[in-house]
Chain A
Amino acid sequence: MSMTDGPTPLSSAKAAQSAADREGLTTAPGASIAGRRGKKPGSLGQRWNALSRQQQWCFLIIVVVLAYLLPVINPPIITTEPGNNFGLACFDMARFALIAIGLNVVIGYAGLLDLGYVAFFAVGAYVSAMLTSPDSAFLKIPYLWTIPVAMAVTMFFGVILGIPTLRLRGDYLAIVTLGFGEIVRILATIIPAMKGQVGFQSVGHPPGTAADGNPIFTNSNGVPWYWLILTVIIIVLLLVGNLERSRVGRAWVAIREDEDAAEIMGVPTFKYKVWAFAIGASIGGLSGALFSGQVGFISNQRFDVYTSILFVAAVVLGGAGNKVGAIVGGALVSYIPLRFTAIAEYKYLIFGILLVVIMIFRSQGLFPARQKLLAYGRDAVKWMFKRDDGEHGTGAKRTTGTAQEKGAQA
């Protein structure tokens, strides 16, 4: 996680200052100006950064344990019961969170507005259903094997969609992806093998039986599924976090900020955009496969444009470009209608209002993104200043001085 690896520069003037001090850099007069753009003093991010590495890990472990225990504790006010089974609600929240993490790679990191993300989710769900359901004419494989297959197939679809469309930018890309979302749904309706509204019953589930002889993973009990998807989320977070901090992550941010500038900095922009699409797609497929296993029934009714828009809302709500934000945003988008069943009918209206309010008061989302982008540049700078100190202000400092003198003379 970006938030776990120490202080984030510029999250506030103070943080920037302390980071500068720690790295032995001269204090930048501009830091305070830039810092003002960031979070308010005492914000979550700043308090987080003030913690030591050990404290951060302790906190994370507590959060993870609590997350696993959530359906068991079933906290009174938070619970969605009696309207909705809380175990199933937890699964649904986690599913949305996973989807938001995947879509966040596309929208948040690379800045590609994908309005048809449900298509990848659908492809993953269908792959899983068609390879396990007795209604399908395809060969059958164990459910767990369908998960990597679903990811591979959706990744392939991501590349197939990405290669022609990623030459487009901004609004045009959004329109094409919107179309793609519909195409998948319509194909599911008209291709006989995909069985339209009839769909696929009794999709497979992971093996294992409880002490009483019943299977652990059933359609009516969300808890084991929740634990499974939570584990998947943690693994995906670790992988995505690594990508984010790598060269790939920096390239994505550069593309998001200014695509032409990124290209002339030597970033193969097209390649990295296709990668963002493919990785985002495979995570969408993964969540689709898990969804289809849990629900046990897949038909073309579940993958409409509204669902796509909900996914985008989850990412934007949480703060595009921030993994933690994506999880919270995804969970909220799923949780609110489940908790307040009386108003579930109005969920699009409520999200609309919520989005407007959030965009006014927190235009960067609940958790604004601020990635650390320096890879080897950081080492280079450290090395340079170390050398300076070692040689009593030679090297950069001295040349700086002479340049300034030259400037003064001229």
Chain B
Amino acid sequence: MTLLELDNVSVHYGRIQAIKDMSFTVEEGEIVSLIGANGAGKTTTMKTISGLLNPSAGSIRFAGKDITKMKAHIRVVQGISQAPEGRGVFPGMTVLENLDMGAFGRKDRSGMATDIARVFALFPRLEERQKQLGGTMSGGEQQMLAIGRALMSNPKLLLLDEPSMGLAPQFIRQIFKIITEINSQGTTVLLVEQNANQALARAHRAFVLETGEITHSGTGKELLANPAIKEAYLGVG
């Protein structure tokens, strides 16, 4: 079943068009990666899906509903959750308080214990550090917290904006492994990455974004094998 569908979406910053007639779908249960260089429109795409930016044209459908005009905070309740670029954890809140904020829009308090347990199981480090302030944690821990916090709304679709940004290679592998695990637990993942190697290897399907347009698409493996992409994004060739 199609969970997310972008239909000819365009996004402008003032007069500058950041995304041009973009269309793609995310099926339920998939990991989909969007890869591209700086300025390709990856983060813009994410913000448009989560509702922080409004498209100037086109429509977005989520789980069969048109959400083009829906406010970001309502999209969370509908099941779209984002771990923003640069992590965006609340620096003055503890780990636990950050996680608590992630469940802000939820009405079912009973489900929260299960979700906190799930997050702590995925990220044992967060359980150890639950009383530490978000702003005092390392980059990798903040990334864990951002993902964990996004999971607290029990989303159908998890948006991850550059989860590997600024992390050590070892950490990157770990984060991607956890992303695969989150997906295997039934959450659909849409991932934006510059680290094309990991992003393609882990994805069911992937799209390559260049200056606001999708230029290539295919399964992760196909794109990994594509010589043009190898040359442009994988540093091989």
Contact = CB atoms under 8 A, between A and B. Distances in A.
- Count class of interface residues, chain A: 35 or more
B92 A257 contact: yes
A379 B112 CA distance: 9
A20 B102 contact: no
A52 interface: no
A31 B121 contact: no
B192 interface: no
A163 B149 CA distance: 30
Contacts of B116: 377, 380-381, 384, 396
Contacts of B71: 268
A54 interface: no
A258 B127 CA distance: 23
Given A30-B137, A268-B71, A261 B127 contact: no
A30 B129 contact: yes
A264 B81 contact: yes
A265 B127 contact: no
Contact of B93 (A26, A257, A378, A387): A257
Interface in B161-195: 174, 177
Given A403-B121, A403-B124, A377 B112 contact: yes
Interface stretch (A208-216, A246-254, A308-316): A246-254
B101 A250 contact: yes
Contacts of B128: 26, 28-30
A254 B101 contact: yes
B148 interface: no
- Count class of interface residues, chain B: 35 or more
Nearest to A396: B117
Given A257-B90, A260-B84, A373 B77 contact: no
B100 A269 contact: no
A219 to B, nearest CB: 45
Residue among B77, B131, B136 having the largest count of chain A Cβ atoms under 10 Å? B131
A384 B118 CA distance: 11
B124 A34 contact: no
Interface string A355-396: 000000000000000000111111111011001000000011
A260 B124 contact: no
A10 B96 CA distance: 12
B72 A264 contact: yes
Contacts of A400: 120-121, 124, 127
Interface string A254-273: 10011011111111110000
A373 to B, nearest CB: 4
A192 interface: no
A37 interface: yes
B48 interface: no
A375 B88 CA distance: 21
Interface in B51-78: 51-52, 71-73, 76-77
B133 A34 contact: yes
Given A257-B90, A266-B153, A28 B132 contact: yes
A354 interface: no
B8 interface: no
Given A376-B112, A380-B109, A381-B113, A263 B130 contact: no
Given A257-B93, A263-B73, A264-B81, A377 B117 contact: no
Given A30-B128, A34-B132, A373 B97 contact: yes
Contacts of B96: 374, 377-378, 381
Contact of A10 (B76, B94, B109, B127): B94
B91 A257 contact: yes
A384 B127 CA distance: 12
Nearest to B77: A266
A260 B89 CA distance: 10
Given A30-B128, A380-B112, A399-B117, A261 B92 contact: no
A9 B84 CA distance: 27
Contacts of B52: 260, 263-264
A377 B92 contact: no
A254 B90 contact: yes
B181 to A, nearest CB: 8
A325 B102 CA distance: 29
Contacts of B137: 30
Residue among B50, B99, B104 having the largest count of chain A Cβ atoms under 10 Å? B104
A407 interface: yes
Contacts of B122: 403
Given A257-B92, A376-B112, 14 more contacts: A34-B132, A34-B133, A263-B51, A263-B73, A264-B50, A264-B84, A265-B76, A265-B153, A266-B104, A373-B97, A376-B103, A377-B96, A399-B117, A399-B118
Interface of A: 9-10, 16, 19-20, 25-26, 28-31, 33-34, 37, 247, 250-251, 253-254, 257-258, 260-269, 373-381, 383-384, 387, 395-396, 399-400, 402-404, 407, 410
10 contacts: A16-B131, A26-B127, A34-B94, A251-B104, A261-B88, A267-B104, A376-B103, A395-B117, A400-B120, A400-B121
Interface of B: 50-52, 71-73, 76-77, 81-82, 84, 88-94, 96-97, 99-106, 109, 112-113, 116-118, 120-122, 124, 127-133, 136-137, 149, 153, 174, 177
8 smallest CB-CB distances across A and B, nearest first, come from A266-B105, A377-B100, A30-B132, A399-B121, A266-B76, A396-B117, A30-B129, A261-B88
